[in-house]
């Protein structure tokens, strides 16, 4: 039983089943829209979890990469004449490239110093989107043309539900592969003790960089999806609060758990929708919930529940 | 030269506020290893409670005292109900808790007060003083003097009083401090109270110049955190140096380069410093036992 739950590919199957079955349960397109948003955010958080949960490196600036993807599909078609699908790829590549270039110096930093450096990086990217109004429309943001693949225009919740859902399944599958590979083992070793890993001959900087670049690509693809789906992008997509939201999703669901990333994203996407009923109290409830979950389930929702299950099953 | 002085004064004024926020970060970090992202909310509460107490007819000095007392009470509540029960949680979990607290406090403030910008009347008139060709608001001088007094008082408290030494001992080694009979829980609580008080005073001093509203805390916390890291986390002197440096960088960046990228300039310098000195300007080298 325990071995069954420990299989990293279990979450891939579970996600695929959820994506297939959810449309049967969710009849209104409002619920389908929320499910789509959960998939999109999950994609970004699964990537971030590779960095935070497995490599053990904090990033308070991942919304920067999310924003690069989001603006790539906006600026590409409108200003540069690049088709959306190519702009999406270029955004993902660009985010990966930026992560590769700044990752090496940034990832030398540790703990809170790394936190402040990634924070600064995210803020710098957001500031560019805010200030270069000729390209980005400034603080008001810009409209995003619809995705057009070989004559088929992708629009509407149904189309994006399937695109986001299938992408998330692929995303969890890639993550499961990374985790099960020697790279994943090395990342966990770095997480446990960087010095010990280095003593064993691990090129620590190299592996941290792999996780950083991968997570940046995940975030950029998710960003592209969100802005294509919404048809609008603003600098808040790249802002500090968005970064914090990603980190909170990852930690709330459980660091080091791919399934936890999806649960964390689902909680933080669904909860505000439920809380809009309380209007003015929305922030109070959100803040309270973050505190309460972290106080009582410090390892996150999924690892805490898995711990309970494991104690029950002999 | 007049222009240079003008930028320097405005930079020092803003920098003094950042320094106070960074000092609050440092105190709590030293005592409990927690990065308290609700530090900016302490500054907001100081300003906002004073504004609303003043509007309710309370005289300014009393309103300021009320604001500090309320902020300290909230700081203690934060420690007692959110930080202490989560002791032993990972650093990231604790960061999420303090960010949750900052969202919670912002939500409460938007309900208890309102969502508009407010200002306090200047404490010493609003006629600028001319210094070497630069116009300086009397309030700027009050901010600088106030921040200086706080830093000095804090230093005296930490270096000369027995309680201050107990706080320092708790920061250095919690277990050893407990073994010599120090109530370490109370000391950590005390550092939360002192941080809240410093933040509140900063908020009150700055309100006549920078305006205040329920959501000014986020940016202040970011700048204060960056300043504390620039100086070297855990070093009170570093926090002050870092705060002033960030303020000056912003002012000169906005004045000579580009006002829309003034925040960028501060962060680029911080990144550059961290690349060369990964422990900040005045931080200690990190040694890890395997």
Output the pTM of the full model: 0.86
CB spacing of A287 vs B274 below 8 angstroms: no
Mean pLDDT of B233-244: 88
Q: Is A275 on the interface with B (CB under 8 A)?
A: no
Q: Out of A25-34, B90-99, B105-114, give the one with best mean pLDDT.
A: B105-114
Looking at the DSSP bridge assignments, the partners of residue B136 are B129
Q: Residue A264 — pLDDT band, cuts 50, 70, 90? A: very high
Question: How many whole angstroms separate alpha carbon A215 and alpha carbon A211?
Answer: 6
Work out the burial of residue A305: count CB atoms within 10 Å of its CB; fewer than 13 is exposed, 13-18 middle, 19 or more buried: middle
CB spacing of A240 vs B218 below 8 angstroms: yes
B230 vs B259: which has the higher pLDDT: B230
Give the per-residue pLDDT at A113: 81
Residues A58, A114: contact at Cβ < 8 Å? Answer: yes
Residues B189, B79: contact at Cβ < 8 Å? Answer: yes
What are the backbone angles phi and psi of residue A154, rounded to the nearest 5°? -85, 115
Q: Output the CA–CA distances (angstroms, integers) from residue A220 to A11, A55, A65, A92, A264, in the order listed.
A: 22, 19, 5, 5, 19
Question: How many whole angstroms separate alpha carbon A115 and alpha carbon A240?
Answer: 12
Q: Please list every residue in chain A whose beta carbon sits closer than 8 Å to the beta carbon of residue B229.
A: 112-113, 116
Q: What sign does the CA torsion over A53, A58, A63, A66 have? A: negative
CB spacing of B107 vs A109 below 8 angstroms: no
Question: How many whole angstroms separate alpha carbon B18 and alpha carbon B83?
Answer: 24
Sort strands B129-131 and B134-136 into parallel, antiparallel or unpaired: antiparallel
Reply yes or no on whether the pLDDT at A190 is more than 90. Answer: no
Question: How many whole angstroms separate alpha carbon A63 and alpha carbon A79?
Answer: 23
Distance from CA of A120 to the nearest CA of B (A): 5
Structural domains in chain B plus CATH codes: 2-117+138-276 (1.10.3470)
Domain ranges of chain A: 9-239
Cα angle, residue A222 at apex, residues A170 and A74 outer, rounded to 5°: 130
Q: What is the DSSP letter of B56?
A: T
Reply yes or no on whether the pLDDT at A223 is more than 90. Answer: yes
Mean pLDDT of A281-294: 84
Give the per-residue pLDDT at B284: 65
Distance from CA of A161 to the nearest CA of B (A): 30
Q: What is the DSSP letter of B128?
A: P
Mean pLDDT of B252-262: 82
B43: Cβ–Cβ under 8 A, 6 or more apart, which residues?
B17, B20, B21, B199, B200, B202, B203, B206, B216, B217, B220
Looking at the DSSP bridge assignments, the partners of residue B118 are B212
Reply yes or no on whether the pLDDT at A220 is more than 90. Answer: yes
Reply yes or no on whether the pLDDT at B21 is more than 70. Answer: yes
- From the list A195, A247, A294, which residue is nearest B288 (CB)? A195
Q: Residue A64 — pLDDT band, cuts 50, 70, 90? A: very high
Q: Which of A103, A121, A290, A293 to mutate to test the interface with B (most CBs of B within 10 A)?
A: A290
Question: How many whole angstroms separate alpha carbon B196 and alpha carbon B21?
Answer: 9
Give the per-residue pLDDT at A34: 92
3-state helix, strand, coil in chain B (%, to 5): 75, 5, 20
Task: Count Cα neighbours of B196 within 13 Å in the Cβ-side half-sphere.
Answer: 24
Helix (H) or strand (E) holding B130: strand B129-131
Nearest residue to B15 (alpha-carbon basis) of B269, B259, B250, B278: B250
Closest residue in B to A118 (Cα) is B271
Question: How many whole angstroms separate alpha carbon B59 and alpha carbon A80?
Answer: 61
What does the block give as tokens for A283? 């922030």
Question: How many whole angstroms separate alpha carbon A72 and alpha carbon A221?
Answer: 10
Q: Is A52 on the interface with B (CB under 8 A)?
A: yes
User: How far, in whole angstroms, is CA B168 from its chain's centroid?
Assistant: 19
Q: Where are the alpha helices (DSSP H) in A50-181?
A: 62-75, 84-106, 111-131, 133-136, 157-180
Q: Out of A101-105, A164-168, B253-257, B270-274, give the one with best mean pLDDT.
A: A164-168
Reply yes or no on whether the pLDDT at B288 is more than 60. Answer: no
Give the per-residue pLDDT at A211: 93
* Proportion of chain A above pLDDT 70, given as a percent: 96
Q: Please list every residue in chain A whose beta carbon sits closer than 8 Å to the beta carbon of residue B268.
A: 120, 124
Of how many residues is chain A composed? 314
CB spacing of A247 vs B96 below 8 angstroms: yes
Q: What is the pLDDT of residues A144-163, one digit of tens each?
A: 888 877 777 777 788 899 99
Give the per-residue pLDDT at A116: 83
Q: Please list every residue in chain B whose beta carbon sits closer than 8 Å to the beta carbon of residue A287.
A: 100-107
Residue B217 has a CB neighbour count (10 Å cut-off) of 30
Give the per-residue pLDDT at A304: 84
Reply yes or no on whether the pLDDT at B290 is more than 60. Answer: no
Q: Is A271 on the interface with B (CB under 8 A)?
A: no
Closest residue in A to B109 (Cα) is A284
Q: Residue B63 — pLDDT band, cuts 50, 70, 90? A: very high
Q: What is the pLDDT of residues A277-286, one digit of tens each?
A: 777 777 788 8
Give the per-residue pLDDT at A101: 93
Distance from CA of B108 to the nearest CA of A (A): 6
CB spacing of B92 vs A127 below 8 angstroms: no
Q: Please list every residue in chain A whose beta carbon sits closer than 8 Å to the beta carbon of residue B104.
A: 283-284, 286-288, 291
Reply yes or no on whether the pLDDT at A287 is more than 90. Answer: no
Q: Please list every residue in chain B whose beta carbon sits closer than 8 Å to the beta carbon of residue A111.
A: 91
Q: Please list every residue in chain A whose beta carbon sits closer than 8 Å to the beta carbon of residue B88.
A: 298
Q: What is the pLDDT of residues A9-48, one digit of tens each?
A: 888 898 899 888 888 887 788 889 999 999 999 999 999 9
Residues A53, A117: contact at Cβ < 8 Å? Answer: no
Q: Mean pLDDT across chain A, nearest whole number?
A: 87
Nearest residue to B100 (alpha-carbon basis) of A237, A236, A248, A273: A248
């Amino acid at each position: 039983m325990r071995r069954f739950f420990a299989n990293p590919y279990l979450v891939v199957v579970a996600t695929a089943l959820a994506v297939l079955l959810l449309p049967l349960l969710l009849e209104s397109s409002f619920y389908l829209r929320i499910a789509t948003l959960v998939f999109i955010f999950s994609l970004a958080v699964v990537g971030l979890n590779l960095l935070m949960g497995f490599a053990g490196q904090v990033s308070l600036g991942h919304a920067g990469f999310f924003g690069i993807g989001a603006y790539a599909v906006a600026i590409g078609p409108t200003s540069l004449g690049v088709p959306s699908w190519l702009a999406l790829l270029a955004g993902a590549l660009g985010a990966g490239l930026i992560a590769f270039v700044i990752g090496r110096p940034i990832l030398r930093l540790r703990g809170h110093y790394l936190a402040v450096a990634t924070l600064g990086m995210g803020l710098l990217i957001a500031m560019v989107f805010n200030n270069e109004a000729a390209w980005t429309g400034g603080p008001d943001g810009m409209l995003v043309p619809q995705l057009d693949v070989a004559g088929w225009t992708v629009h509407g919740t149904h189309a994006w539900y399937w695109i986001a859902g299938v992408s998330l399944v692929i995303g969890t599958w890639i993550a499961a592969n990374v985790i099960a590979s020697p790279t994943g083992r090395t990342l966990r070793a770095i997480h446990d003790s960087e010095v010990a890993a280095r003593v064993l001959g691990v090129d620590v900087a190299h592996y941290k960089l792999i996780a950083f670049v991968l997570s940046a690509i995940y975030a950029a693809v998710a960003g592209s999806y969100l802005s294509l789906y919404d048809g609008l992008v603003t600098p808040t997509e790249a802002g500090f609060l968005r970064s914090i939201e990603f980190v909170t999703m990852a930690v709330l669901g459980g660091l080091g758990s791919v399934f936890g990333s999806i649960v964390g994203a689902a909680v933080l996407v669904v909860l505000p929708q439920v809380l809009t009923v309380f209007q003015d109290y929305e922030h109070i409830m959100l803040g309270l919930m973050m505190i309460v979950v972290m106080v009582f389930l410090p390892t996150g929702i999924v690892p805490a529940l898995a711990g309970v299950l494991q104690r029950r099953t002999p | 030269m007049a222009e240079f002085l003008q930028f320097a004064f405005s930079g020092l004024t803003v920098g003094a506020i950042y320094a106070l926020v960074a000092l609050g970060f440092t105190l709590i970090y030293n005592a409990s290893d927690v990065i308290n992202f609700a530090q900016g909310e302490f500054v907001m509460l100081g300003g906002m409670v004073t504004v609303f107490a003043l509007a309710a007819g309370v005289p300014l000095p009393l309103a300021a005292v009320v604001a500090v007392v309320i902020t300290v009470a909230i700081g203690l509540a934060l420690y007692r109900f959110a930080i202490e029960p989560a002791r032993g949680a990972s650093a990231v979990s604790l960061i999420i808790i303090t960010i949750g607290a900052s969202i919670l406090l912002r939500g409460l403030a938007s309900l208890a007060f309102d969502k508009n910008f407010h200002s306090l009347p200047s404490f010493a008139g609003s006629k600028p003083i001319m210094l070497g060709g630069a116009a300086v608001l009397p309030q700027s001088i009050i901010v600088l003097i106030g921040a200086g007094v706080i830093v000095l008082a804090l230093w005296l408290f930490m270096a000369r009083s027995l309680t201050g030494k107990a706080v320092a001992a708790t920061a250095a080694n919690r277990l050893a401090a407990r073994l010599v009979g120090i109530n370490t829980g109370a000391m950590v609580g005390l550092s939360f109270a002192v941080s809240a008080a410093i933040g509140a005073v900063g908020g009150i001093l700055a309100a006549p110049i920078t305006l205040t509203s329920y959501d000014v805390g986020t940016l202040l916390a970011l700048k204060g955190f960056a300043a504390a890291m620039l100086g070297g986390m855990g070093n009170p002197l570093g926090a002050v140096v870092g705060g002033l440096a960030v303020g000056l960088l912003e002012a000169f960046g906005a004045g000579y380069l580009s006002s829309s990228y003034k925040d960028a300039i501060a962060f680029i310098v911080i990144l550059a410093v961290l690349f060369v000195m990964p422990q900040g300007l005045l931080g200690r080298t990190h040694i890890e036992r395997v």
